[in-house]
Amino acid sequence: MARYAIISDIHGNLQAFQAVLKHMAGQEVEELICLGDIVGYGPAPGCCVDLVCKYCSIVVKGNHDEAVVDPYTATQFNGVARKAIDWTAGVLGPLHMTALNQLGAIAHLSDEVMCIHDCPAPGPSDYVHDQAMASIALRGMDRPICLLGHTHVPIVFEAPTGEPDEPVQPHQIIAHIPRAGESIHLDPQKRYICNPGSVGQPRDADPRASYAVLDLDARSFTIERVKYDIAAVQLDTQEVGLPAILAERLAIGA
Ligand code: ZN
């Protein structure tokens, strides 16, 4: 069996993460893979790091994870994101900071699957949100399937294999936007960029936590959406003194 739960962008939202863990218990997955941004924005970063360390077999570092442990990277964040980074760095203990610091940027699940937080092409951190960016991302892939997060929007880009000296053009790429429970078939003759969406701060106008199940035997990538207690996280966000917008946006999935 080669069945994996794929999570990304938990962002310190413990209630969403716990709801996802409970939901995936019925999915018969053998491993849990985390694509980074465990912390940042949400009020429970330490608990989320603990759960990721406990349950995930592969974890890659997100840009927020990096910013929390690296003051220079933090300077590249503005506004509420920077406030949340600074707050998070202030509340995490040395063990949590070490756990985040030790994460690598890229991991390989198999000969067929690579894992990264953002765009695999060389250069600064970037969002793979459309076919133009997917065509750039394909150039950085060293496996036919790339699992990534960062945009907080569940999506699958399907591309032809392409030739090394003939990059795939944006018009050759199909963007699938899966609904909850919908599976995208992974054709062995094609390449894929698969984004499971965000556990802790979805931005596709659906406030439910998002994750995916990758089944390499059935060759499917299935998006799952899970309801959780948003009001409780909003209250926690307010109580620790994080900016109000970080609580408000959870209710609208933005
Ligand atoms: Zn994120």
Spatial separation of the C-alpha atoms in residues 38 and 198, rounded to whole Å: 10
Q: What is the pLDDT of residue 123?
A: 79
Q: What is the pLDDT of residue 9?
A: 98
39: CA distance to ligand 1 center in Å? Answer: 8
Beta strands in the chain (DSSP E): 3-7, 31-34, 58-59, 106-108, 113-116, 145-147, 155-160, 174-176, 183-185, 190-195, 209-215, 220-226
Neighbours of ion ligand 1 (CB under 5 A): 9, 37
* Per-residue confidence in pLDDT tens, the chain, 254 aa: 799 999 999 999 999 999 999 999 989 999 999 999 999 999 999 999 999 999 999 999 999 999 999 988 888 888 999 999 999 999 999 999 999 999 999 999 999 999 999 999 987 778 999 999 999 999 999 999 999 999 999 999 999 987 766 789 999 999 999 999 999 999 999 999 999 999 999 999 999 999 999 999 999 999 999 999 999 999 999 999 999 999 999 999 99
Joined together, the tokens standing for residue 4 give 């994996």
Q: What is the pLDDT of residue 167?
A: 84
Give the global pTM. Answer: 0.96
184: CA distance to ligand 1 center in Å? Answer: 23
37: CA distance to ligand 1 center in Å? Answer: 5
Spatial separation of the C-alpha atoms in residues 127 and 186, rounded to whole Å: 22
217: CA distance to ligand 1 center in Å? Answer: 29
| Lookup result for tokens 């499917």 | 220
Query: How many residues are there in the chain?
Result: 254
Provide φ and ψ at 195, rounded to 5°. -115, 120
| Lookup result for tokens 């995916």 | 212
Q: What is the pLDDT of residue 122?
A: 86
13: CA distance to ligand 1 center in Å? Answer: 12
Provide φ and ψ at 45, rounded to 5°. -65, -40
163: CA distance to ligand 1 center in Å? Answer: 32
DSSP of 59-70: EB--HHHHHHH-
226: CA distance to ligand 1 center in Å? Answer: 18
For the chain, what is the largest distance between any 2 Cα atoms, rounded to a whole number of angstroms? 55
Q: What is the pLDDT of residue 164?
A: 63
165: CA distance to ligand 1 center in Å? Answer: 33
- Say which residues have a Cβ less than 8 Å from residue 11's Cβ, sequence separation at least 6: 37, 38, 39, 40, 41, 42, 48, 64, 198, 199, 200, 201
